[in-house]
Structure 1
Amino acid sequence: MNKEKIEHLRTRIASHFRQRYEFDRVTVSLTLGCAILTAICYWLMNVMANVASIRSPDNRVVAPLPDAGFEKIGKIAALYLTDLFDAIAILPAVIFLLCVHRTPLACAVQTLIACSIGCILRITTVAITSFPDPRLDCERVTGSPFHSVSLHRCGDAMYSGHTMLFVLGALIWTSFSPLTWLYRAITVFFWGCAVGGGVIIIANRSHYTVDVLVACYVMVGAWYFVQWWWHQWVVVPNRLVTLRFPHGHLYDQRGCKLTTVAAASHHHHSTMTSADLTYRHQQHTHDTNSATEHSLPMTMQDVTVPPLNGQGNFSSAPAIPSPSASRPEVTIHQAA
């Protein structure tokens, strides 16, 4: 009996996941590929942050740089708050996408791509220019950069990885949550957490103020670049035709249901740009004209008649010799 209950429960769970996510080879492969790319980017970012720590000048010898944020915000010693705010920003957003949103895989892929872009930009900048760390009790990396892991190392300045996650969590709610008063309030709350987390980073002297601001700019830019790319090459029909995420024809980006086929069709057309609509109109007009030309019968107006030349012949036709000109002359001699 217990085996039957377990089997029944397993069947119900499997059925729920099939109906909820509609897993197929393309979408699962793309989602896993983006997750692997993000993991590789985070590993490389940790390596380059260790390189930056090794290269950074000793802040006990070289004084930290002057910073306007340090002058206005008092100093605290609560590094755990930066990690706590990361968890507050990311975990609820992940739970919302995977367990509540109606198009979880599409949202997950967009989020992972945006996060990977932010990591790649940080990989290429964090160790280029070395800054003295603003926090005197930072952890200096001395071993291999490939094996050391630290969240608050020295020299890990440009730009703030914690702020990237603050902003990423707020952007998930901004772009993917339904436009109801409840979700609007949640979105405002998480943007407040992002701002508060940035202030806590500056107060802890974990980063310079410019590190926090640049992280905000980079993450917002990467996010909306991915949104534009997704609209142009996935949402708009006839682009990546084979890439159709589950429930994409039934729910919009915010998870709101398109109740009828007409509404789904309207959603597809409303997400097309003016250039796409113009191109499709031109193609339709060209196809209609071609079909009309082939269906009409030929008339005398469709026959092109070459003009007459001065001698009364068709100018484009070769001249026909007269019978006298073509007959050979014959001379007859009579016998005497």
Structure 2
Amino acid sequence: MYQSSIQQPNGEWMTISARSPDKEPSPVTQITLAEPLVESVRVAARAASALAASPPPPPPPPRCDADIAAHTARDEIKGINFEARLKRNDLNNNASRQQSTTPHAMPSQAELMQRQPLLARAAKLAPAAPADDSDPDLEHSPARAHQDFVVEIAAGAPREDRYPKEIWKAIVSFCFLFLCVCINMMSLSLVHERLPDRNTTAPLPDAVLDNVAARDWALPVSEYIIMLASSTAMAVVVFHKHRFIVARRLFLIIGLLYLYRSVTMFVTVLPMSSTTYYCSPKSNGTTPLLVVRRMFYLISGFGLSINGKHTYCGDFIYSGHTMVLVLSYLVVAEYSPRKLWPLHWALWGAALLGVAFVLLAHGHYTVDVVIAYYITTRLFWTFHALLLAPPRHGPAGGQPMTQREWWYWLFAYLERNARGPVPRRYDWPLPWPRAKLFSRLS
């Protein structure tokens, strides 16, 4: 390093410093010092080219947000209250985080369950629980039609609110039944006066009665079977958990059956099918007071000859005995669980045996039995088909044929708040004593 001073023309001195040639680094030394930097650039270039040639790595799986309660509170959600559920989730998540304080702590069971997918179709499904056949809602559930996992959204209301008691509707339905029974008995009291004399008019030809000798003891046996079958059906209704709903449905069905019967036996009066059955003598004149007296007289005997008060004849089309027997079986089969299948078969056999004894006693013509079976089953099944069909109105969808029944307005009033078939469950109708038998049957 050396310095020199040079005087400029204006008289000022300028100092010039210079490095001696022996102190300057050689070009070879400069290149040697730059080689590490060049090599690092080359390595970075090769890594960038290899990264560009390889496929991009898959994105990391989404992490479960443990602070869902705090984050959801900032969302603008209106009309939905998540407070209870979010508190429960936040409590579980915070507890799991508190337990795993170290970085390598084992995750808790709650964290492991949160990491599992919601709908794992490829995973092996756990064996499904046996279906509760006491609930007819499950018969129309999509889980019965598909094997995959199905999430069903609740109706929005508690299960008990879906089947309100509405006792006043049961009272209205019972009043309708009582009115129809009165009309039926009034029709019978009028038909009795128009009955052809059995001394001058022989019974009509019948394919069954003409080949079977009449047995008078068969009619009381048939009525005892009727009492047993109807008592069984009544017990099913009384001990049913939704007894008021079932009762009002049956009151409406039985009332319609008696109303139809009062019309059919009044418009066409058939001669007596039995030559030995006792019939009260006819009166010379029919007055409204006499008709009312006969009506209450027949009602007090429940329409059975074993009570000694069914002495007015002519109620043939259609058979009331067959109607009660068939309806008792339908009620037990519909509103009792399938595990009681021996009882169902017993009621079916009792109905068949009771009808056979009615024909053996010549209490009804065969056509009376056939018509009674047809009308009773069609009306019962039509009524319960309406429970499954949602109401539709308007020209686009059209109105189902079953909703064109003249009594549909009464059905719509009674079933306005009930949603389809009721579950087959039972309980004790009185506050005491409480037994576990009915919970087992349910």
Which TM bucket (shorter chain)? 0.5 to 0.7
Report what 1:229 is aligned to: 386
Task: Give the structure with the higher percent helix.
Answer: 1
Q: Is the 8 A contact 2:204 2:271 kept in 1?
A: yes
In the alignment, which of 335, 341, 347 is matched to residue 176 of structure 1?
A: 335
Count residues in correspondence.
Answer: 226
Partner residue of 2:323? 164
Matched with 2:57 is none
Are residues 1:151 and 2:319 paired? no
Report the alpha carbon displacement of residue 26 of structure 1 after superposing the two structures with TM: 6.7
Please give the alpha-carbon distance, in whole angstroms, between the structure 2 residues aligned to 1:46 and 1:242. Answer: 29
Runs (5+) with no aligned partner, structure 1 = 1-20, 258-336
Shift in Å, 1:39:
1.2
SS in 2 for 1:57: coil
Query: What is the match of residue 204 of structure 2?
Result: 65
1:84 counterpart = 2:230? no
1:217 to 357, 370, 374: 374
- The answer to whether the 8 A contact 1:178-1:256 is kept is no
* 1:128/1:83 CA distance change after superposition, 3 Å: same
More relative contact order, 1 or 2 (CA 8 Å, 6+ apart)? 1
What is the aligned partner in structure 1 of residue 25 from structure 2? none
CA shift for structure 1 position 252: 4.0
What is the CA RMSD across the aligned residues, in angstroms? 2.9
Q: Deviations over 1:117-159 (max 9, x none)?
A: 1111111111111111111233145343322224253221111
Give 1:85 shift.
1.9
Provide closer, same or farther for how the CA distance between residues 81 and 70 of structure 1 changes in structure 2, counting only shifts above 3 A: same
CA distance in 2, matches of 1:94, 1:43: 21
Instruction: Tell me what 1:327 maps to.
Output: none
Mark the structure with the bigger radius of gyration.
2
Contact 2:164 2:417 in 1 (8 A): no
Contact 1:26 1:243 survives alignment (8 Å) = no
Shift of 1:200: 0.9
Q: How far apart, in 2, do the equivalents of 1:51 and 1:60 lie?
A: 20
Aligned-partner Cα distance in 1 for 2:204–2:256: 28
Query: 1:164 touches 1:215 (CA, 8 Å); kept in 2?
Result: yes
In the alignment, does 2:344 pair up with 1:204? no
**Residue in 1 aligned with 2:269?**
130
CA contact (8 A) 1:50 1:141 kept: no
**CA distance in structure 1 between the aligned counterparts of 2:413 and 2:259, rounded to whole angstroms:** 25
Conserved in 1, the CA contact under 8 Å of 2:270 and 2:314? yes
Write the letter of the residue equivalent to 1:161: G
1:112 aligns with 2:251: yes
| Counterpart among 165, 180, 183 of residue 41 in structure 1 | 180
Q: Give, as a single letter, the amino acid of the residue that structure 2 aligns with 1:231.
A: L
CA contact (8 A) 2:165 2:244 kept: no
Is the 2:269–2:314 Cα contact (8 Å) retained in structure 1? yes
CA contact (8 A) 1:160 1:212 kept: yes
Whether the 8 Å contact between 2:169 and 2:414 is mirrored in structure 1 is no
**Residue-by-residue CA offset, 1:45-97 (whole Å, 9 max, x unaligned):** 01111211111101111000011111343321123223212211111111121
CA contact 1:159–1:211 (8 Å) conserved in 2: yes
Return the alpha-carbon distance in structure 2 between the equivalents of residues 140 and 205 of structure 1: 18
Q: Quick one: distance in 1 between partners of 2:378 and 2:282?
A: 34
Tell me how far 1:254 sits from its aligned partner.
2.8
Change (3 A) 1:45 1:233: farther
Bigger Cα displacement from structure 2, 110-119 vs 57-66 = 110-119
User: Judging changes above 3 Å, is the alpha-carbon distance between structure 1 residues 146 and 255 closer, same or farther for their aligned structure 2 residues?
Assistant: same
- AA aligned opposite 2:274: R
Distance 1:197 1:240, change over 3 A: closer
Shift of 1:242: 8.9
Separation in 1, partners of 2:368, 2:270: 11
What residue ranges of structure 2 are gaps of 5+ in the alignment?
1-159, 284-289, 299-308, 392-411, 428-442
8 A Cα contact 1:139 1:153, kept in partner? yes
Q: Distance in 1 between matches of 2:184 and 2:176?
A: 12
Distance 2:172 2:216 in 1: 39
Give the drift of 1:230: 2.5
Whether the 8 Å contact between 2:206 and 2:366 is mirrored in structure 1 is yes
Deviation at 1:192, TM superposition (A): 0.9
Instruction: Answer yes or no: is the 8 Å Cα contact 2:280–2:311 preserved in 1.
Output: no
In structure 1, how many angstroms separate the alpha carbons of the residues matched to 2:356 and 2:381? 24
TM-score by length of 2: 0.47
Q: What is the letter of the counterpart of residue 87 of structure 1?
A: M
2:169 is paired with a residue whose SS is: helix
